[in-house]
Chains A and B, each alone.
Chain A
Amino acid sequence: MKEKNFISAVVYVHNAENRIEKFLKALICVLEEHFEHSEIICVNDYSGDDSVEKIRQVSQTVENTSISVVNLSYFHGLEIAMNAGVDLSIGDFVLEFDNTVLDYDPEEIMKVYRRALEGYDIVSASANRREKLSSRIFYTVYDKYAINPTNKMRTESFRILSRRVLNRASHMNKTVPYRKAVYSYSGLKADNMVYQPVEGSGTDYKPGKLERRNKVELGMDTLLLFTNVGYRLSMTMSVLMLVLMLAVIIYTFIAYAVSSPVAGWTSSILFLSVAFSGLFIILSIVIKYLQLLLELVFKRQQYSFESIEKLTK
């Protein structure tokens, strides 16, 4: 008995000619075996190799799933590219594959789907292996300083989303700078499943230079937008400097009274420290303003709820 739900798969493709064929074949196989209706949307993020040609070849072999390619005009990076694909998808559920590294048994896709049917709007799959150091640091900082922490985040291979999450994500934000954060902010139920990576697979994948640079920038942007780590850091620093300057003012008076410094020293130091104190006060206010603006822009909706329960008649 095949699933009646319409499923969409959005796949990020950037210079993946070596992997894309194997990946798509496995994906098509799973979708056609289990679903009556499905579509695959490949987002080609300005690949410079034969990825699209490979996709074309594979698409000749499909039976009933529909395959389309969105060709982006220049390199956009993972997040925007995936948004482009997700916007085009029409499925009741949407699978997001952030890369085409197939280090799992394709049946994991069905496990994630079945989990979603149990009432989880977002279900992600992660490999059971040590995360890269950079990822560990990122997620640790993120989890510690997230503005409204809901679920712990970690490196994910793919995830499934219900139409509800996607609708809510598009209401909540005009732009979606970092999908994982926006999805988790949607306030709907989420779950993470861990799979045992297939041995000897997925190790040959090395992201390109553009992808790496994009990832670092994304990490910084995310920490600034979705956590208060930047605000806390800069606020602490300016308060610290303010205190320091006040200490210098007091010290100047003491020095003036106790020892008699060189003429002009007292007035210059006094002027400098008062001016700097003023500067740091202004800076603190500006940072606070920026923080407020950020919240207004990115959190247009004041609250996000998981469900509404009616308890009485």
Chain B
Amino acid sequence: MEKFDKIIIGAGLYGIYAAHYCGKKGQRILVLECDEAPFKRATYINQARVHMGYHYPRSISTAMKSAGYFDRFNKDYSFCINREFDQIYATSAQYSWSDRNQFKEFCRAAGIPCEELHPERYFKKGMCDGAFLTKEYTYDAHILRDYFLEELKKYPNVQIQYGSMIREIHKTSDSYVVVEEDGREYETPYLLNATYAGTNQILEKVGYETFGIKYELCEIILCDVNDKLRDIGFTVMDGPFFSIMPFGKTGLHSLTAVAFTPHTTSYDALPTFSCQEKSGGFCSTQHLGNCNDCPAKPKTAFPYMANLAQKYMRPEYGFTYKESLFSMKPILMSSEIDDSRPTVVRVCSQKPTFVSVLSGKINTVYDLDEVLEES
């Protein structure tokens, strides 16, 4: 049985970051990833925002935390950051949980810059009561992935195993033993669960308490845009609205809408969806497949999102459908009211150590540092 200093489950940003962080210290690390490559799920399939906190006008704690890490992330990974566009946040005149003044007050309190603009410059008359030029960027997951893969080549003590299917996890007196479907076993005193949507599935295998989360099967639409829209990102807040903004450095825009991006929702502890039956064994309650490669992925909601966006944006901003990306998103149930997105680092056991991390934001990855220091 092979032994490692740390075993990390999941090769998304959090897993790869942890592997790199510990690899630099000379630790022997094994990363287990069920897909054929890293960054194939939530790290790639999201709005690619580097959050400054604007998104959370009802959770100042989330906002301040995002703002705190914003500069650090943009400095450390500047090569994958797209800064070359105006990010416009607007508050909808109807159905918004926050209005123009509340948004301004929130930005002031959180200490994040926002410059007020005239809403009718961008939006149809009467649709938005406030518009703000903000400082928010977007990252390119593929550039970030290539950087990390290149970096990790320097550390032969870090192994990544793709296509890994975990059958079970045992706890012994001073270690965890991970058994794969093909019978291979690995032992470690430190296990990090960085699987995001699969986090409860891993916890369940060890018998630890699961997170109180709901699951949303989400669709991010990539669009070609016209010249008017090319260097602008729009986010209409704070309720059932939409966002259309540059997607990293791809030249495309991502289009999402609060009401239409989630296709179906599961409130069970383990993700249970009706499409799992149709996937032909690709995905199950015990092991989530990659929604983006699934044969049973849903039909696009582009017409709905497009109509919503056109209801708000002035007609000169044009966009056309390019492709859809699907991924599973876990949301903490405790976040329903304040719409916060805390990064949860839960230490389930010590010596041997089992840590689960759950975060929906890229730039709070530094929250891991503290827990990785312990060994």
Q: Which residues of A are interface residues toward B (Cβ below 8 A)?
A: 6, 36-37, 39, 64, 66, 68, 87-88, 90-92, 163, 167, 170-171
B126/A170 in contact, CB under 8 A: yes
A163 CA to B95 CA, complexed, in Å: 18
Contacts of B334 in A (CB 8 A): none
8 A–B contacts from the bound complex (CB under 8 Å): A37-B303, A37-B307, A88-B94, A88-B95, A90-B308, A92-B307, A167-B124, A171-B126
Number of interface residues of B (CB under 8 A): 14
In contact, A90 and B307 (Cβ under 8 angstroms):
yes
B322 touches A (CB below 8 Å): no
Across the interface, A87 reaches (CB within 8 A) one of B94, B303, B308, namely: B94
Judging by beta carbons under 8 Å apart, are B125 and A171 in contact? yes
**B95 contact set on A, CB distance < 8 A:** 87-88
Report whether A36 and B94 are in contact in the complex, using a CB–CB cutoff of 8 Å: no
Q: Which one of A36, A64, A68 contacts B259 once the chains associate, using CB atoms below 8 Å?
A: A68
A64 surroundings in chain B (CB, below 8 A) = 299
Instruction: Tell me, in angstroms, the Cα distance from A66 to B303 when the chains sit together.
Output: 11
Which residues of A sit under 8 angstroms from B307, Cβ to Cβ? 6, 37, 90-92
For B299, what are the chain A residues with a Cβ–Cβ distance below 8 Å?
64
Q: Report whether A66 and B94 are in contact in the complex, using a CB–CB cutoff of 8 Å.
A: no
Contacts of B303 in A (CB 8 A): 6, 36-37
Closest residue of chain B to A70, judged by CB?
A: B95
- Please tell me if the beta carbons of B126 and A37 are within 8 angstroms of each other in the complex: no
How far does the alpha carbon of A36 sit from the alpha carbon of B304 in the complex, in Å?
A: 11
Q: How far is the CB of A54 from chain B (nearest CB, A)?
A: 21
Residues B115-163 near A (CB distance < 8 A): 124-126
Tell me how far the C-beta of B274 lies from the nearest C-beta in chain A, rounded to whole angstroms. Answer: 11
Interface residue? B311 (CB, 8 A)? yes
* Residues of chain A contacted by B304 (CB below 8 angstroms): 6, 37, 39, 66, 90
B51 to chain A, nearest CB (A): 27
Q: A141 CA to B95 CA in the complex, in Å?
A: 36
Other than A66-B304, A171-B125, give 7 A-B pairs with Cβ distance below 8 A: A6-B304, A39-B304, A87-B95, A90-B307, A90-B308, A163-B311, A167-B124
8 A Cβ contacts from B215-240 to A? 240
Q: Output the least CB separation between A80 and chain B (Å).
A: 12
- B173 to A: closest C-beta gap in Å: 51
In the bound complex, CA of A296 to CA of B124 (Å): 24
Q: A92: which B residues are within 8 A, CB to CB? A: 307
A64 to chain B: closest residue by CB: B299
A163's nearest neighbour on chain B, judged by CB, is B311
Query: What chain B residues lie within 8 Å of A88 (beta carbons)?
Result: 94-95, 240
Instruction: For B126, give the chain A residue with the smallest CB separation.
Output: A170
- For B240, what are the chain A residues with a Cβ–Cβ distance below 8 Å? 88
- Bound CA span A278–B259, Å: 62
Q: How far is the CA of A217 from the CA of B202 in the complex (A)?
A: 61
Q: For B308, give the chain A residue with the smallest CB separation.
A: A90
Docked complex Cα distance between A88 and B259 (Å): 11
| B126: contacting residue among A36, A39, A167, CB under 8 A | A167
Which residues of the other chain, B, contact A171 by a CB distance below 8 angstroms?
125-126
CA distance A163 to B240 in the complex (A): 19
| In the bound complex, CA of A64 to CA of B259 (Å) | 15
Across the interface, name the chain A residue whose C-beta is closest to B257.
A90
Q: How far is the CA of A222 from the CA of B125 in the complex (A)?
A: 26
**What's the Cα separation between A99 and B260 when bound, in Å?**
27
A residues near B260, Cβ cutoff 8 Å: 66
